[in-house]
A and B are shown apart, each in its own frame.
Chain A
């Protein structure tokens, strides 16, 4: 059994690890123990500012601080980052292209018991619609560490989508390499491609194993950067496998599935099936149970993969 670490945990650790750079300033909105920016605060208290429960103010304050040559990380839950302070992010961060990184934790259904009011399944759609914004959704702790590093090095706004739930560490730190905007082919395959983001990558890998048992060869791609999306890798997969399934812990409207669909229809249309939250709000429950209830499972990905292959065959 692989070690399990939440991406929010890895985020806090990475901020503390790279926080020696005096340009880095971290803000939080009274959730530092949950978003794990507290890990940074303990090490660099002089560059940590709690902004209280006022997310819109936090985002615009982060923008102001960044104009003094700082790299500012502003953290809260994804729901409050992307939706409560959406317009501050748009007008005060994205439009002036300021160096603010939004560390949005507790994204998706796996927030669990807190329920619908806290389960953000629309943030990818909203954030990727903003010009100048880069959107990253790492799959595990290793990828998160590298994503934070890339966000620090990237000059401009970044939205980092992080989860509450501890998830398996899929990558090996010693061999992992992260390039902003470049997907990772996790395993090769020729009949269908499963494109996953965030914690759905583990289920995409499991789905490929299930399909293999049925004699179906599924390629698995990890799209950690949803914007700018790796068009070349997606088009190549469409050409070589002819059928695609997307998997995300997000609404099927406007998220990874939407982003992949945009690439396909404009460049190389092939059958596409989406695994995600079907235009519904979340609900309270155990994270694993919720994933099952909403069809965010390896089994469902495998079923959708077979349906996409059927469409490809014209059946």
Chain B
């Protein structure tokens, strides 16, 4: 059971990830804000509570891994890593600038703490299954976490990877489906519906848990249940809101590939700061 204090800490951590992400993209002037904001609670729980990691030893063999297959959410991952102390927080302002270690999509050879290079959708599922298989082969007890976008499910490779992960009984692999319902060209339901996702993943041999992806206790509980299931990987279908946490960004497909201007950035940060203040007086 999560203590009230811990829950507050994770909510604050999530909100700080949001603030830093807005700053990164606002400073840059472009980027993928919407889908970065929707995975923030997942990142907060993974980096803030569940993953066995050591920011001082990012290459530690027995660490838990995170593969963010929706590599365009990199700025949110970088914010979480910087807040955890993998690298100085000031570095976030170099996002995507010449010479930066923080490219718009995740790159394991550039960013300390990023476990896998991603960006080409669908491939992260196979990469994560590979990591889980490699670690299982060596008898390590660590876990591999995967974050998939829902639009990404349109890539056939995701299903190839899901088939293989179930076939090889990768119970050390836990995936989050960032189920925000939007993709660049609009509603996923209109572009190319991957539904019903719960039934599909079950049919592919996965343990499936459906949660509110912005509800921290639900995320923690789902991860606990995932660890109890042996012999199959777990898919946590996390219903989320693209652009979550900032009133005027929520559920707007236009924010998939956009960044706030100065005014929007200031308004977003003000909203998020107010949320933290509210938590602190609770």
Contact = CB atoms under 8 A, between A and B. Distances in A.
Contacts of B66: none
Given A67-B116, A96-B108, A97-B109, A60 B138 contact: no
Given A57-B160, A97-B109, A68 B135 contact: yes
A88 interface: yes
A64 B108 CA distance: 12
Interface string B99-117: 0000000011100000111
A81 B76 CA distance: 34
B44 to A, nearest CB: 25
Contacts of B161: 57, 60-61
A56 interface: yes
Looking at chain A's contact residues, is the secondary structure mostly helix, strand, loop, or mixed? helix
A61 B120 CA distance: 14
Q: State which size class the interface on A falls in.
A: 20 to 34
Given A63-B127, A91-B119, A92-B123, A68 B164 contact: no
A60 B61 CA distance: 20
Contact of B127 (A47, A54, A92): A92
Interface secondary structure of B, over-half rule? helix
A139 interface: no
B39 interface: no
B163 A92 contact: no
B94 interface: no
Nearest to B67: A64
A47 B131 contact: no
Contacts of B164: 51-52, 54, 57, 61
Contact of A49 (B117, B119, B133): B133
Contacts of B134: 25, 64-70
Given A61-B126, A67-B131, A92-B127, A52 B137 contact: no
Contacts of B125: 60
Nearest to B129: A61
Interface in A1-46: 25, 46
A92 B137 contact: no
A105 B128 CA distance: 27
A292 interface: no
Contact of B117 (A61, A87, A88, A92): A92
A213 B130 CA distance: 57
A88 B163 contact: no
A65 B133 contact: yes
B267 interface: no
Contact of B133 (A64, A88, A95): A64
B258 interface: no
Interface in A47-94: 47, 49, 51-52, 54, 56-70, 87-88, 91-92
Interface of A: 25, 46-47, 49, 51-52, 54, 56-70, 87-88, 91-92, 95-97
13 contacts: A47-B137, A52-B164, A54-B164, A57-B160, A60-B161, A61-B161, A67-B134, A68-B138, A87-B120, A88-B126, A91-B117, A96-B107, A97-B109
Interface of B: 61, 67, 107-109, 115-117, 119-120, 123, 125-135, 137-138, 157, 160-161, 163-164, 167-168
